[in-house]
Chains A and B, each alone.
Chain A
Amino acid sequence: MVWKYLLGIFMVVVILGSFFYAQPALGLGEVSRIIYYHVPAAWVAVLAYLVAMVSALRYLRTRDISHDTAAAISAELGTLFAVVATVTGAVFAKVTWGAYWNWDPRQTSITVLLLIYGAYFALRSAVDDDQRRAGLSSVYAILAFFTVPFLVFVVPRVYASLHPDPILNVDKKINMDARMLQVFLASLAGFTGLYSWMYSLKLRIYRMLRERTGV
């Protein structure tokens, strides 16, 4: 119970820090502050998709339907954060490249990723039987996650992209000044905490619904 208040206070501090404590990046200026929201959202999306895949694997091992519920919740949250990353990315693109959308390899991959998980929800709604839905969508969730490293890490490196270097750039060095790095890492932690809070909240709602309907 106390955790969610701590998380709330922490996120407020991160937001304030991102605007007032960290310096703007050299060359990019004030717009660089979006990094404290865009990158953590993208990171949480990948994390949530990973959790969805692990839950799907556990479902296939144990046939326990609650793992499938966990996979669905995590995929939903992953998609939510992926949308946040896409929108913040588009805003950044408008300011720095001049257009919200220009089919940069990064934008192409995130679009494909969103479509893949959209199809996952289409599959879930197409099957009526609980166990069969769980089995099929688990297989699809695992198949879908196999494409994530390819889309997120390989494609943008094969084709020329305008996207700024990832934080761990080619020299494996972190190019951030100390204050920026502090806020950035804090924001990563905050977003991860936000995800786990939302995840447990949704899981509790599902459990209560199941108890009430007696399934």
Chain B
Amino acid sequence: MEQALAVLHKDIVAEFRTRHAVNSLIMFGVTTLVAVSFAMGPFGLSSHVLAALLWIILFFSAMAGLSRSFVKEEETGTIMALKSSADPTMVLLGKMMFNLILLAALEIVIVPLFFVMMDTWPSAPTRFFAVLLLGSLGLSAVSTAVAAIVSKAGSKGALFSVLAFPVLLPLLLSSISGTASALEGASPVWPELRLIVGYSGILITASFMLFEYIWEQ
């Protein structure tokens, strides 16, 4: 656990030096949000459309930034040092925490802006933030594992989104329908939360079991 925190600390320090990942993530998110709001803001959209738009913005911003965690190590050649100094599972855990923090930073900017620009507020705020939190947890953890695969595959252009999108799709669909019912506030979000937790649980467990094999490539 100490090792994981050390990896997290190292990543945060490195990120603060350049702020490359967090900047591109937030700029991507804000740009998309502005485009969406400009095109559709005045129409009083239904909560299903709003939920889908919010998650599409979050998802594609995440795709733009979250692969950096492992790709950066390969590019700068620091991966060998990391390999020799930390246990693989702890590296993965550290990177997952770092990506979760990145995604949280994105959401702190995007979600309030979204409420303002789309002129909306969830009827059931607790449920809304529960879905947002658990969905982001799954999103960041699973895309970290996929980022590890992509970094070893030579990080070719769109490969990250191509690999991450199908695996994350069930998570995304459940998050969208959960967010929609939280915005409306009429129906409970338990079925969606159960799916989100179950699905991310399966994938996170699997990626911890398999990470060693990616790491040794």
Contact = CB atoms under 8 A, between A and B. Distances in A.
Interface of A: 60, 108-109, 112, 115-116, 118-119, 122-123, 126-128, 132, 135-136, 138-140, 142-144, 146-147, 150-151, 154-155, 158-159
A147 B194 contact: no
Given A119-B167, A136-B214, 16 more contacts: A115-B169, A123-B149, A123-B153, A126-B154, A126-B159, A127-B153, A140-B163, A142-B210, A143-B206, A143-B210, A147-B167, A147-B170, A147-B199, A150-B170, A150-B199, A158-B195
Contacts of A140: 149, 163
A182 to B, nearest CB: 37
Interface in B142-185: 145, 149, 152-154, 156, 159, 162-163, 165-167, 169-170, 173
Given A123-B159, A132-B152, A139-B214, A112 B203 contact: no
Interface of B: 145, 149, 152-154, 156, 159, 162-163, 165-167, 169-170, 173, 191, 194-195, 198-199, 202-203, 206-207, 210, 213-214, 216-217
A116 B165 CA distance: 8
Contact of A146 (B162, B195, B203): B203
23 contacts: A109-B170, A112-B166, A112-B169, A112-B170, A115-B165, A118-B166, A119-B162, A123-B149, A123-B163, A126-B154, A126-B156, A126-B159, A135-B152, A135-B213, A139-B213, A140-B149, A143-B145, A146-B202, A146-B203, A147-B170, A147-B202, A147-B203, A151-B170
A163 to B, nearest CB: 17
Give 8 closest A-B pairs by Cβ, nearest first: A115-B166, A116-B166, A146-B206, A139-B210, A112-B169, A127-B153, A119-B163, A119-B166
A100 B15 CA distance: 49
Contacts, number: 82
Contacts of B145: 143
B159 A155 contact: no
Contacts of B199: 147, 150
A29 B71 CA distance: 57
Nearest to B203: A146
